Amino acid sequence: MSQRMQGQPMVILGEDSQRMQDKDAQSHNISAARAVAESVRSTLGPKGMDKMLVSSTGDVTVTNDGVTILREMDIDNPTAEMIVEVAETQEDEAGDGTTSAVSISGELLKNAEDLLEQDIHPSTVIKGFDMAAKEARSQIDDVAEEVSVDDREVLKQVAETAMTGKGAEQNKDLLGELIVDAVENVTVEAEDGSSVVDLEFLDITTEASGTAADSELVEGVLLTEDPVHEDMPTDFEDAEVLLMDTALEIEEANADAQLSVDDPSQLQQFVEQEEQQLEEMVETIADAGVDVVFCQKNIDDMVQHMLAKEGILAVKRAKKSDIEFMREVLDANIVSDLDNFSGADLGSGDVTYDADNEWFVVEGDNSHGVTLLLRGSTDHVVDELERGVNDALDVVAAAVADGLVLAGGGAVEVELASRLRDYADGISGREQLAIEAFADSLELIPRVLAANAGLDSIDTLVELRSAHEDGDQNAGLNVFTGDIEDTYEAGVVETAHAKSQALSSAAEAANLVLKIDDIIAAGDLSTSGGDEEGAGGPGAGGMGGMGGGMGGMM
């Protein structure tokens, strides 16, 4: 912002506006960003604690998931929001590692502040951080172990590590197994021999009944719906399936039309006319050779009867997501207008009804779609379970696609820190100091893992560093025993993909904050929220106080 303003006519600020420049601006921004980062630290790792978030409408979320916490926190400060964006990018790109990414960006800013105090220019720090992030990423590839879709045991450990500390953990053995099966089911080999994971062919369905241990992997699409009519057949092999996203009834405009009846025959005529229209619908469907209709909207009672008479199975008010999933699995098109569809729009597959569970399973003839059915006693339980399973699915998919995994429990961070220090030795400028600060920041992870497990973080770090000096590149902290051990062997396994992404987004966010040297706010800096457009957006580097939602969290 400051650069754009240079050389321009003097800006006359309103009486209420405030301006902060250079160090004041930096330290203000750094404090805001650090505050956010520090708020999620206590949840890191298997021994991390959960947070209970209460929204303004009273909805309660209990979670250990970094991005969920930050999303729900109602943060009202533009700089702090940049840190929240780190979590969101991490979640979108990698599915896991949000708490790590956010914590590291906070630590980078803390260490950057020390450098700024030693009169090192922000642009030098920014350059050093960039260099370090790039070097760290290339070292990750060097430290990583290779994995393929056939390495079930390692993939299961990747899933289990991602679920650690989350609601999914109590059943991580079963869930890890289901997740690996699911990913295996939707993995295809590309022409060049690499593995492609088609997550569109994988769906998660939740049921707030039973316990997590009753979760299962269903081959095909799971529809928790009943047939619309009890006389309908429910099971088909190689069925011709029609997917519809509009209602099978007379359009509302017609049905609501005012009808003035002069003599009873007119009413009779009207009813007959409607009936005829409905009959035509059913005829069109039957003539096309349809066996099953899955409709996203309503189906008229009379149509239900007529379909039943024709021996056609129909389901109404199916979920949009299920209709879309079936489109992929059955290789069908979704039909909106019965006057405009052909046999080519139909899908084909097997349809089976499970009367005990009251759901349908639909399997495509040529596809490999699977549904992960997660169960838990209450909505809160299944929701947190789903978050954990989702993270785990993403990382297992990334591990298969990418083929690279790492030793967790702080092992990779300590190894990278040591390699970055070697790298810094070869850099002559002041950037060297920033690279060293980057290395120190990575070591936050083992320190926090130790602290959250009630262990001494300094002792842990000292021990870890010396193990790595001895060439033990997978030495990490086992938080359950407090021992330093080969965490890869112990089954604490992370993906190279998530770790690379975490380092990049942490460095980018820190640099974004450091680039700001001028804050101009249309209001009081210490109290104004970010809600006024213009003072807000991260790009503008505007300011606001910490919003009310934050206060209680810190």
In the complex, what is the shortest distance from the CB of residue 373 to ligand ADP, in angstroms, rounded to a whole number?
Answer: 24
The two three-digit tokens of residue 252, written as one number: 């509302």
Q: Is 359 left (phi over 0), alpha (psi -120 to 50) or beta?
A: beta
End-to-end CA distance of the chain: 30
In the complex, what is the shortest distance from the CB of residue 524 to ligand ADP, in angstroms, rounded to a whole number?
Answer: 35
Q: What is the CA radius of gyration of the chain?
A: 29
The C-alpha angle with vertex 93 and arms to 436 and 112, in degrees rounded to 5, equals 25
Locus of tokens 């549904």: 371
In the complex, what is the shortest distance from the CB of residue 445 to ligand ADP, in angstroms, rounded to a whole number?
Answer: 5
In the complex, what is the shortest distance from the CB of residue 165 to ligand ADP, in angstroms, rounded to a whole number?
Answer: 5
Q: Which residues contact ligand ADP by CB under 6 A?
A: 43-46, 48, 66, 96-100, 161, 164-165, 408-409, 445, 449, 477-479, 492, 494
Of 44 and 308, the one with the shorter C-beta distance to Mg ion is 44
CA nearest 94: which of 547, 432, 529, 402?
402
In the complex, what is the shortest distance from the CB of residue 343 to ligand ADP, in angstroms, rounded to a whole number?
Answer: 48
Q: Does 91 engage in binding with Mg ion (CB under 5 A)? A: no
Of 202 and 493, the one with the shorter C-beta distance to ligand ADP is 493
Q: Does 93 engage in binding with Mg ion (CB under 5 A)? A: no
Measured distance CA(164)–CA(172) in Å, rounded = 8
Eight-state DSSP code of residue 210: S
In the complex, what is the shortest distance from the CB of residue 439 to ligand ADP, in angstroms, rounded to a whole number?
Answer: 17
165 binds, among ligand ADP, Mg ion, none (CB under 5 to 8 A by kind): ligand ADP
Of 26 and 61, the one with the shorter C-beta distance to ligand ADP is 61
494 binds, among ligand ADP, Mg ion, none (CB under 5 to 8 A by kind): ligand ADP
The residues, any chain, with a CB within 8 Å of residue 26's CB and separated by 6 or more, are 113, 116, 122, 514, 516, 517
Of 160 and 322, the one with the shorter C-beta distance to ligand ADP is 160
Q: Tell me the catalytic residues.
A: 65, 98-99, 391
Q: Does 96 engage in binding with Mg ion (CB under 5 A)? A: yes
Of 43 and 367, the one with the shorter C-beta distance to ligand ADP is 43
Please count the other Cβ atoms lying within 10 Å of the Cβ belonging to residue 54.
12
List C-alpha distances in Å: 485 to 130, 145, 393, 469. 31, 17, 27, 14
The two three-digit tokens of residue 380, written as one number: 């809160």
Chain residue at closest Cβ approach to Mg ion:
96
Chain residue at closest Cβ approach to ligand ADP:
408
Backbone phi and psi for residue 258, each to the nearest 5 degrees, phi listed first: -65, 135
Measured distance CA(442)–CA(255) in Å, rounded = 66
The stretch among 95-103, 219-227, 284-292, 371-379 that binds Mg ion (CB under 5 A) is: 95-103
Of 62 and 247, the one with the shorter C-beta distance to ligand ADP is 62
Task: Point out which residues bind Mg ion (CB under 5 A).
Answer: 96
